[in-house]
Amino acid sequence: MIQLWSAWNFSWFLLGKNNLVPFNHPLKASIFVTSLLGGYMIYIYPRKITIKIGNYKIKPSYSCLVMGDILFHQIPMAYVLYIENKKELNTLCSKDNTCGAWVLLPFSGWYLTSKILRINFDKIYGIKMNYLVGAACTLFTGHSLFYHLLKNKKD
């Protein structure tokens, strides 16, 4: 499971939700991008996924993939949109000024760990990793521009 970014992202979400790490903008940006890409890979461009745990290989059915998407991608997104956003609205402003670009630290950790373990990135999701990284960068850039333009309008 360590080869799946979703496992890293969901762990980060759980740590943030339980106040073990800050629930900050990098985490929210990561949840946003992971939710959209996860949804795309499950519903629009479905592929078979193989999860390796030690010497075991698990090939979940499509219905399991949908349930996994809801649990690991969409519930964190709904939490950010409804719970975290409501908290920020109640305090009238976000106390967090952490730049979302810090999402590169955990992403780099995942990438380097996968490289050290010699995981073939193109086989993880059945899509070339260059396409996924390009899509993630595009989503992150769009999210960042939207956030900063809205923030400047509020100020």
Give the model confidence (pLDDT) of 7-32 as tens digits: 889 998 999 999 899 888 888 889 99
Helices 5-17 & 25-39, crossing angle to 10 degrees?
A: 140
Cα torsion 8, 136, 75, 122: sign: negative
Task: Flag whether pLDDT at 147 surpasses 70.
Answer: yes
**Beta-carbon contacts of residue 62 (< 8 Å; ≥ 6 apart):** 46
Entry field: residues in the chain: 155
| Tokens matching residue 145 | 């521009």
| Distance from C-alpha of 25 to C-alpha of 127, rounded to nearest angstrom | 27
Predicted confidence band of residue 117 (pLDDT cuts 50, 70, 90): confident
- What is the pTM for the complete model shown? 0.78
Predicted confidence band of residue 89 (pLDDT cuts 50, 70, 90): low
> First and final CA of the chain: distance in angstroms?
43
Predicted confidence band of residue 1 (pLDDT cuts 50, 70, 90): low
| Tokens matching residue 9 | 């992202």
